[in-house]
């Protein structure tokens, strides 16, 4: 599965890089480039929210034997990854409730210093050179929880 980070259209990012290389003193992105990046980001996020591994807050609560109120509290505290939607509510990757991910998620949240769902998901689903190109999610699923948490701590500093 490709990460949300890698699904973003490279056309808009390439134009930003090309412009920056041709004029390195210009530290700002034009309004048109910003709009292109934002539009690409929204499209990628919408695709990720609709992916087959995503569940609603109610479905996640049912999976874990809790309530929607508890699930929302877990999302707010970084105990669960909740991805904000353009409308009300969250979508959650259902694989986060499986061991060993469920056990390591609070450590990752603390190491990264964020409870924001998109930031957590991007970290987990983006290939990392410190893991020989594997994603932190893959590393955790292969038993390398400590390595993934250490990389998360290094990323936040």
Tokens of 56: 């609603």
What's phi and psi for 26, nearest 5 deg? Answer: -90, 105
* Number of neighbours of residue 85 by Cβ within 10 angstroms: 13
Task: Please determine, for residue 7, whether its predicted confidence score (pLDDT) is greater than 80.
Answer: no
- Angle value at C-alpha 4, between 103 and 101, nearest 5 degrees: 10
Average pLDDT estimate for 88-107: 94
Q: What is the mean pLDDT of the chain?
A: 82
Closest CA to 42 of 72, 15, 12: 12
What is the pLDDT confidence band of residue 43, given thresholds at 50, 70 and 90? confident
Average pLDDT estimate for 64-74: 96
Q: According to the model, what pLDDT value does residue 15 have?
A: 42
Average pLDDT estimate for 13-40: 53
Task: Please determine, for residue 11, whether its predicted confidence score (pLDDT) is greater than 60.
Answer: no
Which H or E run includes 92? strand 90-93
From CA 79, how far away is CA 98, in angstroms rounded? Answer: 13
Q: pTM (2 decimals)?
A: 0.73
């Amino acid at each position: 599965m490709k990460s949300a980070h890698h699904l973003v259209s490279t056309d808009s990012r390439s134009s930003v890089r090309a412009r920056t290389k041709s004029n390195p003193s210009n530290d700002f992105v034009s309004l048109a480039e910003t709009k292109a990046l934002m539009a690409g980001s929204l499209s990628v996020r919408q695709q990720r929210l609709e992916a087959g591994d995503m569940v609603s807050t109610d479905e996640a609560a049912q999976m874990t034997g809790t309530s929607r109120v508890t699930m929302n509290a877990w999302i707010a505290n970084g105990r669960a990854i909740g991805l904000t939607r353009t409308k009300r509510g969250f979508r959650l990757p259902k694989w986060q409730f499986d061991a060993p991910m469920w056990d390591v998620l609070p450590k990752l949240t603390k190491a990264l210093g964020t409870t924001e769902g998109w930031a957590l998901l991007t970290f987990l689903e983006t290939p990392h050179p410190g893991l020989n190109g594997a994603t932190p999610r893959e590393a955790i699923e292969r038993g390398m929880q400590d390595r993934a948490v250490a990389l998360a701590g290094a990323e936040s500093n």
